Amino acid sequence: MKLHLFFTILLAGLIGASCASRTESSKPLPERPNIIFIMSDDHAYQAISAYSDRLIQTPNIDRIAKEGMLFTNACVTNSICAPSRAVILTGKHSHLNGKIDNEFPFDTTNVTFPQLFQQAGYQTAMFGKLHFGNNPKGVDDFMILPGQGEYINPKFITPTGDTVVIGYVTDLITDFTLDWLKNKRNTDQPFMLMYLHKAPHRSWWPSPEKFEEFSKKQFPEPETLFDTYENRGTAAKTAEMNLLRHMMYSHDSKIRPETIEQMGNVTPVVADFRNGYYGPYGRANEAQKAAYEPVLDSINNFFKQHWNSMNDTEKMQWKYQRYMQDYLACISSVDDNVGRVLDYLEESGLDENTIVVYTSDQGFYLGEHGWFDKRFIYDESFKTPLLMRWKNVIAPNSRNDEMVQNLDFAPTLLQAAGIAVPTDMQGESLLPLLRNDQKSWSRNAVYYHYYEYPAVHQVKRHYGIVTKEYKLVHFYYDVDEWELYDRLKDPKEMKNVYHDPSYATIVKDLKIKLDGLRVQYKDSDSLNQHYIDLYKKLPALIVK
């Protein structure tokens, strides 16, 4: 009898466990959830401690993962700022929405997902960096930065005109966001709020207190900092993203122009002084400048005393540390401010039915392969952070390794809100994954296409297919080269195995799948040529 009772209890427990695994996918979704879409600019997944605590602690961003889901294979379709934002807004690849690079204008006939939320009775608002367009579509209220925006005392575009606001941009964007949540929204309506940070975009100007704090820190170097690209193709060898050769003294490392002039034998990097690239500091008032001066003095004094006696290895290491100090200091401010918003959601009870998304417009190189910036299909650039929280829908501390893209954000949010997803959107809703319904997810490969060449950083045009196991890339335009990377055996992507006979079958199979994706997403060689022809008519590209 006791034995029978034991097996009965055991069976009940197993059935209960099985039911628990289906809980998220079986119960009904909350109606008309609020949405806060948080996006930073150039925030590398390596610089979020939920992914890795090697460089920085981001406790507030990590809260979203602890209370929701972290995606380990989230990626973008085109790793560059404005095109990524256009993909997110439209749910369409760059070649269809028309915003292939930072120069081509955004086609305003595109339907964006905020418009659909607005039409469905949601309040909509946007605060921060949009990057393109001065009048965001489908947004009831907004304060957006013109273009790239400024870190210090930035100008904002508003429905009633432009205004300059005194302060640090990351704090200000959060102030506007919280003011809208607390004082301006209609509490009888659900809302869709886009909270968009400029940081940590180049030129990485921290707030004065973070500048001082992080200038005293030292960070571990990536294993591939001194990569020679010997097993890679032309594109990696000719890109202009090297910390030593292409990172600018004033614009990036905070060396005063007069310091360089005084030293005489230091040759400024081309364009270092163009358009006042010591500009963020130039926008500061006297009190703000005084707060920056001690750290600037320290950096410049060290440079004067040691730079000319350093060898190239030491110079590379110094530039890497200066880069990380400023870049990570900017992220620390983002994390603090995300915490302010999360705290308010909890204090007000809004967290009970608010979807919170944290992502970046793409990944970024933090010295891996000796690089900064993005653009490539290689992982540090191609992958992006993605963390999502939705109480009582997404199980806490969930992790997912499926191949998801920024193409999927619009369909996901629309479906979560019960709004019809337009049939011409190319992304897939992530709701099955968020609800632990893996069987309803079928994608096993994603498509990538980068266009902006020749231009700043000189990353060649390329497209490719990426699965969990492999990455096949075709570089074109002024070269015709293929690369294949085994993502499991070679996670740092140090060896192109395209010509390795043992991978011949894999290459053949991936090329067939790549052709299929190009047909599925309506891309083609003729469309490539169309954009190449249009590109040649544009004025000379500038540093972004």
Write out pLDDT tens, residues 92-124.
999 999 999 998 888 999 999 999 999 999 999
DSSP string, 402-460: S-EEGGGHHHHHHHHTTPPPPTT------HHHHTT-GGG-----EEEEE---SSTT-PP
Kindly state the average pLDDT of the residues 472-485.
Answer: 98
Q: Is the pLDDT of residue 377 over 50?
A: yes
Interval 419-452: pLDDT, tens: 999 999 999 999 999 999 999 999 999 999 999 9
Kindly state the average pLDDT of the residues 281-296.
Answer: 94
Given a contact cutoff of 8 angstroms between Cβ atoms, the answer to whether 466 and 445 are in contact is: yes
Q: Is the pLDDT of residue 168 over 70?
A: yes
Given a contact cutoff of 8 angstroms between Cβ atoms, the answer to whether 372 and 320 are in contact is: no
| Domains of the chain and CATH, by start | 30-204+332-441 (3.40.720.10), 210-323 (no CATH), 449-535 (3.30.1120.10)
d(CA 429, CA 435): 11
Interval 337-347: pLDDT, tens: 999 999 999 99
Given a contact cutoff of 8 angstroms between Cβ atoms, the answer to whether 462 and 474 are in contact is: yes
CA distances from 217 to 55, 57, 326 (A): 10, 13, 10
What amino acid occupies position 476?
Answer: Y
Residue with structure tokens 């959601």?
Answer: 345
Q: According to the model, what pLDDT value does residue 182 have?
A: 98
d(CA 277, CA 294): 20
Q: According to the model, what pLDDT value does residue 261 have?
A: 83
Q: According to the model, what pLDDT value does residue 29 have?
A: 87
pLDDT band at 538 (very low <50, low <70, confident <90, very high): confident
Q: According to the model, what pLDDT value does residue 455 have?
A: 93
d(CA 16, CA 247): 57
* Helices 312-348 and 59-66, axial angle in degrees (round to 10): 60
Kindly state the average pLDDT of the residues 406-422.
Answer: 98
137: Cβ contacts below 8 Å, ≥ 6 apart = 108, 112, 114, 115
Q: Give the tokens for residue 181.
A: 């949540």
CA distances from 143 to 71, 125, 128, 140, 174 (A): 30, 9, 6, 11, 11
Average pLDDT of the residues of the chain? 92
- Residue 466: beta bridge partners? 446, 471
Kindly state the average pLDDT of the residues 296-304.
Answer: 96
Q: According to the model, what pLDDT value does residue 362 have?
A: 98
d(CA 126, CA 351): 19
Q: According to the model, what pLDDT value does residue 98 have?
A: 94
Q: Is the pLDDT of residue 25 over 80?
A: no
Given a contact cutoff of 8 angstroms between Cβ atoms, the answer to whether 330 and 285 are in contact is: no
CA distances from 240 to 312, 396, 543 (A): 17, 42, 12
Of 203, 216, 219, 208, nearest in space to 255 by CA: 203
Residue with structure tokens 């993005």?
Answer: 374
d(CA 233, CA 418): 47
Q: Give the tokens for residue 141.
A: 């209220």
d(CA 101, CA 371): 20
Q: According to the model, what pLDDT value does residue 134 have?
A: 67
Q: According to the model, what pLDDT value does residue 15 have?
A: 38
Q: According to the model, what pLDDT value does residue 26 have?
A: 65
Interval 191-243: pLDDT, tens: 999 999 999 999 999 999 999 999 999 999 999 999 999 999 999 999 999 99
Q: Give the tokens for residue 447.
A: 């498509």
Q: Is the pLDDT of residue 19 over 90?
A: no
Q: Give the tokens for residue 478.
A: 């002024």
What amino acid occupies position 96?
Answer: L
Q: Is the pLDDT of residue 271 over 60?
A: no
- DSSP annotation of 155 reads E
